[in-house]
Structure 1
Amino acid sequence: MKWNNALNDYKLYLKIERGLSANSIENYARDVQKLIKYLEDNNITTSPISISSEVIKQFIYTIAKHVNARSQSRIISGLRSFFGYLVFEDYRNDNPLELIEAPKIGRKLPDTLTEEEIDNIINAVDLSKPEGERNRAMLETLYGCGLRVSELVSLKLSDLFFDEGFIKVTGKGNKQRFVPIVESTQNYINLYKNQVRNHLPIKPGFEDTLFLNRRGKQLTRAMVFTIVKQLAESIGLNKSISPHTFRHSFATHLLQNDADLRSIQLMLGHESITTTEIYVHVDKSHLTKVVETYHPRK
């Protein structure tokens, strides 16, 4: 079996069997490509079926000189998944990464924005431009519903259930969830829909896509990143932020205002509550408030 053939089959598996997004698939593939390049650069002739644990250990030792512990851990995880697939398909009897431990890394706490900083960013949107209403509606939706940027750009008109107060969100692995949407965010979306989107030359295939670019096509994730970065720079915000920062802020602010973790988990679409628990580490004052409110000896 050749490396490129194995990699293409693996990518197909990730797409069809696991339902991963194109972006996630490329991230997984990139880890395998790093290994392939190492083998080529060092004239090591081996196949995905015959490569040994020792060769992979040497590869990991080599990359450890150039990347941090978090990147090492991600690459090891990506390779373990790839060889796990080969075992699953009966190409191999063992996973050569089974006994290779990833470096210990601390849990990375997400950056967040204060409510004032979020207001300042949204207020910096230039509403005199046609895309202004769209950008304001997007940011309000990111923060108001805690969406991932991929969920935001793929949002459909048919996903809006404003009468019921919800939007339908398609998350990782094409899993769908209903997220509450407050009336003010609904109003911003309706303003954009009725005053701007109605006048765009919508391309075939994008009639149901909510947020469109000037050419009538779906916005890219990269474009949303650019919009957020430019707005942060325009107000002199001294923080490195991205669209995901609005999602983190959504969860953190809910927790600060006494929302329970289980509800936050459902709204964020986290498979495990342990993923949501990271927000307890962000805002430890919540723990103090819980003890002071509920402990009998407060």
Structure 2
Amino acid sequence: MFIEDALKEYDFHCVAKGYTNKTMINKRQEYKQVLLFLKTKRGIDQLESVHTDDLRAYIRYKQQRGLTPQSIQSMAKMIIAFFNWCVNEEYLKESPMKKVELPKVSKKVLEGFNEHEVYKMINAFDYSSYHEVRNKAIIAMLADCGLRAMEIRTLPFKNVMETTILVHGKGNKERTAFISPALKKILIKYERMRKEYVENKLLKEDMYFLSYHLQGLSHLSLDNIVKEAGKRAGVNKKRISPHMFRHYFALTTLLNGCDIYSLSRLLGHANIQTTQTYLQSLTDEKLGEQAKINSPLMNMNKK
């Protein structure tokens, strides 16, 4: 079987699974490159002829071109997924990627937001105009629900209900996020001002959070809102982004007693391994506080 034919079939499989356009663009670009390498550098066009050594050579080729270990890991995941699919479809007996060693990625501990900083960023915006209250509601929802940037940008108005939010996550997987009373207080005021703002206007998209053009926010717009919140609040972190609020949500929720399996569902992760990476920003100070709270001797007299 030609590798190219297998890739075409796998492409339809991924589309049917509901992968986003962005994911498909990345996958197609990577498969185009690996296909070209196998043809021109290794003289291979048959799926059955691909050997572990060929893919090791491809990884070395990527390293020589200056790709970081993190980029190589991301690229390799796509190749692994393709060959695993080939095994599942019985086109191959074993994945040639199975024994390919990948460069180790050094673990960087992110300096996450603390409670005081998040409070200041939420209150960096007021209720004086639609865009001010919109930005306040966005920051509050990011912090209190842990939504992805894409999920909050493309959130339909009808999906925000009384106490829950229906979220369309990666791969069009649905999950439920929960609206706390503190968040609800902000959303009630936002929805009232939103209603006034859109009155007698034609919406291009009925998204919960609207841009100046009455449609969903762009990635850049959301990023600018978050950076403006940090600037107004005087939060000087190396990284201020929508995703950092997701880290804050994960860490705070866990420290408040949520188990990692429930947290994984709240975040919309496919497995808890992904969830665990969000907890790398747990500082020794926070860890010490939790150790003190959960100390067997400290709790002995409470029983």
* TM > 0.5: yes
The equivalent position to 2:216 in structure 1, one of 211, 215, 218, is 218
Corresponding residue for 2:141?
141
Q: TM-score when scaled to structure 2?
A: 0.80
Q: CA deviation at 1:81?
A: 1.0
Which 10-residue stretch deviates more, 280-289 or 74-83?
A: 280-289
Corresponding residue for 2:237?
238
Tell me how far apart the structure 2 counterparts of residues 98 and 166 of structure 1 sit (CA, whole Å): 42
Q: CA deviation at 1:129?
A: 5.3
Corresponding residue for 1:252?
251
Contact 2:10-2:82 within 8 A present in 1 as well: yes
RMSD, matched Cα: 3.2
The equivalent position to 2:294 in structure 1, one of 257, 270, 290, is 290
Residues 54 and 180 of structure 1: CA distance in aligned 2, closer, same or farther (over 3 Å)? same
Q: How does 1:14-53 map to 2 (within 5 A)?
A: 14-17=14-17, 19-36=18-35, 38=37, 45-47=43-45, 49=47, 50-53=49-52
Tell me how far apart the structure 2 counterparts of residues 28 and 108 of structure 1 sit (CA, whole Å): 26
Instruction: Tell me the alpha carbon deviations over residues 88-142 of structure 1, each in whole angstroms, 9 at most, x when there is no partner.
Output: 3444454221221223345554441012222232333476554222121111111
Tell me how far apart the structure 1 counterparts of residues 255 and 73 of structure 2 sit (CA, whole Å): 32
Corresponding residue for 2:197?
199
Corresponding residue for 1:261?
260
Instruction: Work out whether 1:60 is the aligned partner of 2:46.
Output: no
Q: CA deviation at 1:243?
A: 0.6
The equivalent position to 1:167 in structure 2, one of 133, 144, 165, is 165
Tell me how far apart the structure 2 counterparts of residues 148 and 94 of structure 1 sit (CA, whole Å): 35
Which 10-residue stretch deviates more, 183-192 or 276-285?
A: 276-285
Q: CA deviation at 1:143?
A: 0.6
Tell me how far apart the structure 1 counterparts of residues 224 and 10 of structure 2 sit (CA, whole Å): 32
Instruction: Tell me the alpha carbon deviations over residues 179-228 of structure 1, each in whole angstroms, 9 at most, x when there is no partner.
Output: 22122322322333221355333445x23x21122222222334312322
Tell me how far apart the structure 1 counterparts of residues 278 and 195 of structure 2 sit (CA, whole Å): 36
Tell me how far apart the structure 2 counterparts of residues 221 and 258 of structure 1 sit (CA, whole Å): 32
Q: CA deviation at 1:157?
A: 2.5
Corresponding letter in the other structure for 1:237: N
Corresponding letter in the other structure for 2:142: L
Which 10-residue stretch deviates more, 6-15 or 173-182?
A: 6-15
Structure 2: 5+ residue runs without aligned partners? none
Corresponding residue for 1:177?
175
Tell me how far apart the structure 2 counterparts of residues 112 and 194 of structure 1 sit (CA, whole Å): 32
Instruction: Tell me the alpha carbon deviations over residues 13-69 of structure 1, each in whole angstroms, 9 at most, x when there is no partner.
Output: 22313x3333333333343234245457x5554326244332221111121231232
Tell me how far apart the structure 2 counterparts of residues 262 and 294 of structure 1 sit (CA, whole Å): 27
Residue 177 of structure 2 aligns to a residue in which SS? strand
Q: CA deviation at 1:290?
A: 2.0
Q: CA deviation at 1:297?
A: 10
Corresponding residue for 2:269?
270
Corresponding letter in the other structure for 2:139: L
Q: CA deviation at 1:79?
A: 0.8
Tell me how far apart the structure 2 counterparts of residues 123 and 26 of structure 1 sit (CA, whole Å): 38
Q: TM-score when scaled to structure 1?
A: 0.81
Contact 1:6-1:48 within 8 A present in 2 as well: no
Tell me how far apart the structure 1 counterparts of residues 299 and 120 of structure 2 sit (CA, whole Å): 38
Structure 1: 5+ residue runs without aligned partners? none
Tell me how far apart the structure 2 counterparts of residues 293 and 155 of structure 1 sit (CA, whole Å): 47
Instruction: Work out whether 1:119 is the aligned partner of 2:127.
Output: no
Tell me how far apart the structure 2 counterparts of residues 100 and 188 of structure 1 sit (CA, whole Å): 51
Contact 2:292-2:298 within 8 A present in 1 as well: no
Instruction: Work out whether 1:188 is the aligned partner of 2:191.
Output: no
Corresponding residue for 1:101?
101
Corresponding letter in the other structure for 1:243: P
Residue 177 of structure 1 aligns to a residue in which SS? strand
